[in-house]
Amino acid sequence: MTSRLNFAPVVAFLAAATVLAPAPAAPQNAQQAPIVQNDTVQPTPPPEVKSFDPAAMDTSVDPCVDFYQYACGNWIKNNPVPADQVRWARSFSILQQRNQYLLWKDLNAAATDPQTPLQKQYGDFYASCMDTAAIDKAGFDPVKPAWQQIDAMTDISQLPALLSSLEDQGVPDGFFEFGVSQDAKDSTKQIAEMDQGGTSLPDRDYYLVDNPHFAEIRAEYVEHMKKMFTLAGDTPEHAAKEAAAVMTIETAMAKSFLSRTEMRDPNKVYHIYTVADFQKLAPTFDWTTYFWQTGIRPFNTLNVGTPEYFKTLNGMLTSEPLEAWKSYLRWHVLHGQADDLSTPFYDENFAFFHRTLAGQKQPLPRWRQCTMATDRALGEAVGQDWVKQNFPPSSKESMDKLVADLETALHQDIQSAPWMSEATKKLAEEKLAMFRNKIGYPEKWRDYSSINVIHADFLHNVHQVSIYDRNYNYNKLGKPVDEKEWGMTPPTVNAYYDPSFNDINFPAGILQPPFFDPDVDPAVNFGGIGVVIGHEETHGFDDQGSQFDGKGNLRSWWTPADEKAFHGRTECIANEYSGFQAAPAEGNAPAVYLNGHLTLGENTADNGGLRLAYMALLEALKDQGKSIDEKIDGYTEAQRYFIGFAQVWCQNTRDAAARQAALVDPHSSGKWRVDGTVQNFDEFGKAFGCKKGQPMYPVNSCRVW
């Protein structure tokens, strides 16, 4: 388990194979199109995307009224969401597809003619995923051993041993999250950590909010569980009883959950307990037995992120009957593996979690599903060969300079902040000077040699990877922190800041056109990858990152007056974004708006990144003897900067996806990542000749950095 605070990616842009959003549940008698697995779709190279594309723009729109529509309008009109997606973005989606195509070429070659032991390993994993005939032949058989273990449980006291046994087999089991992460208040230590977990719907609100929309989704979820239990061999009557028991247990769990917004506060999820005191907190479960049988090293203390959840779980273990817990476990074992099982299970799982909840009409082509699965499982194995072909040394050198330019801009921004005292500025500068920059790929590749991959047994391979990941994490306990470790694979189209490491990380996958193109003018590159860099650097000083010092420790380093001024500025951002609509009303689903406090860190980073990259652009142009007002193809460098930035976020999203994202995604939607930021930056209004008071050039705006 990775600490919930460790990653602040630039985007939570998930592929369609991952559940991303809820939709109003279809009536039970509605006729739905059959699910098409797309097994026979052949990989083709995606089109190239220009870093700056006038054809994407709708110049009939006044940029001072709706800049997003001005920069992206024609692209939005001409690029509906494909059937196998829930969101389609001009930059992220197409580059992601390109990277996956290039990765597929390596995987496909390795599956048929491996040249090295590493290629043999990841080639066999990919081949096993593609072998749907073998997966279908296995049917439900791979799940039966775990179900038999669950059925053999005769007393709730046997639960700790059962859970550890299932985990030893790489089988998901629900209940809670347990693993090793850095101690938030001593980043040199790696400690055990317990956290809430054990539900299947995307957020606690799906269980708790009392309105027709969520009520219908809950009913559909129960129907889905009944169908899955029936596919596994239960009678319809028994399946209905089991589904009801699971819903009762998961709803009770959800009631004790901290909200996603509360979980963003690092102090609310930091509670150090001795193992003995934790046992007193939830005495019904034998934690000592569980810890011992998982094979983790002995430890005396741990962080219990959500104590109230474990109090609730303790009461439930005595109040809910044993048969209900068996049903719960059977469900989580089945649900956790549904995407990897035979066609009937895959189809039913897709029908609810992808089509009903997310609005996705078809699965991704199988080659993309398996490419993504192999990247997730063996990312630093496949990444080694991928970067050799797709990330030349010149790209790393250019990124090194860009990152340095943005750090200089952040230094200047800190020094010029009128609301910060010199004492706080000094400590902020110290933190900035301690930033670690990771660019492209790890210095040391992870060793996967202990994973036993079989060419024709996909679920076996999935289990082996799960065991490896668990043991890799457990083995960190009590050891020095590996400051060079990465949390994303090289082909990933994303970036992140880690507050406990105090580092910014840019995988090779995002350091490609249209984000970074050595053949375009500086304004476009600074508007693309420059803003991404500035975004991640700003995370070090957003509402979460600002609570960690330069060594990655959770501690207050602000003067009281500066902290008050900072919170006043972040509240301005939070209130502003809470007024932005994420999805319109539809059917029994009301209109939903962004949660300004859930998205506060990302919105702060978006605003800061836009300003910092612009500052760095001015310096770069000055060094070249150029002006921000010089024109290229009819647009000034300032205008090209903002248009290049906006076109990164051109996207279409299904309303269902937008609804779920408003609940679970700490990032704002593409429209507000553009319009919400430019309206807070006066240089935008000046660049486009806007008048004060227009929507994109308001009289009053928000600014943190």
Could you tell me the CA-to-CA distances from 313 to 196, 306, 320, 702 in Å, in that order? Answer: 10, 11, 10, 42
- Residue 159 sits at the vertex; the CA angle it makes with 156 and 165, to the nearest 5 degrees, is 155
Question: What are the φ and ψ backbone dihedral angles of 173, each rounded to 5 degrees?
Answer: -140, -5
Task: Give the position of tokens 């990858």.
Answer: 529
Q: Return d(Cα 238, Cα 242) in angstroms, integer.
A: 6
10 Å CB burial of residue 690 (0-12, 13-18, 19+) is buried
Amino acid 9: pLDDT: 85
* DSSP category for residue 589: B
Q: Which two tokens stand for residue 125?
A: 């994993």
Amino acid 394: pLDDT: 87
CB 35 within 8 A of CB 347: yes
Summarize the chain as % helix, strand, coil (round to 5).
50, 10, 40
Q: Return d(Cα 474, Cα 291) in angstroms, integer.
A: 11
Q: Which two tokens stand for residue 538?
A: 């700003």
Q: Return d(Cα 282, Cα 280) in angstroms, integer.
A: 5
Q: Which two tokens stand for residue 129?
A: 């995923």
Q: Tell me, what amino acid is at 273?
A: Y
List, run by run, the mean pLDDT of 10-residue segments along the chain (705 residues): 56 39 31 53 87 97 98 98 97 96 97 96 98 97 98 98 97 96 97 98 97 96 98 98 98 98 97 98 97 96 98 97 98 97 98 97 97 98 94 90 95 97 97 96 96 96 98 97 96 97 97 92 96 98 98 97 98 98 93 97 98 98 95 97 98 96 97 98 98 97 97
Report the largest interatomic distance among the alpha carbons of the chain, rounded to a whole angstrom. Answer: 79
Cβ neighbours for 532, distance < 8 A, ≥ 6 positions apart: 10, 495, 506, 510, 515, 609
DSSP letters spanning 106-146: HHHHHHHS--SHHHHHHHHHHHHHH-HHHHHHHTTGGGHHH
Do the bridges between strand 186-196 and strand 301-304 make them parallel or antiparallel, or are there none, so unpaired?
parallel
Do the bridges between strand 176-183 and strand 436-440 make them parallel or antiparallel, or are there none, so unpaired?
unpaired
Do the bridges between strand 651-653 and strand 503-507 make them parallel or antiparallel, or are there none, so unpaired?
unpaired
Q: Which two tokens stand for residue 409?
A: 């801009």
Residue 631's SS3 state is strand
Residue 586's SS3 state is strand
Helical (H) or strand (E) element with 88: strand 87-89
Residue 172's SS3 state is coil
Total residues found in the chain within this entry? 705
Return the number of other C-beta atoms located less than 10 Å from residue 125's C-beta: 30
Which residues face 498 on adjacent strands? 503
Rounded to two decimals, the pTM is 0.93
Task: Give the position of tokens 């860009």.
Answer: 402
Amino acid 234: pLDDT: 97
Domains of the chain in start order, with CATH, are 46-103+390-438+487-687 (3.40.390.10), 140-340 (1.10.1380.10)
Q: Return d(Cα 325, Cα 317) in angstroms, integer.
A: 8
Angle between helices 560-578 and 600-623 (to 10 degrees): 100
Contacts 24+ apart (CB under 8 A), 162-169: 162/329, 163/290, 164/289, 164/290, 164/293, 164/294, 165/293, 166/333, 167/294, 167/470, 168/293, 168/294, 168/295, 168/467, 169/145, 169/463, 169/467
Amino acid 13: pLDDT: 41
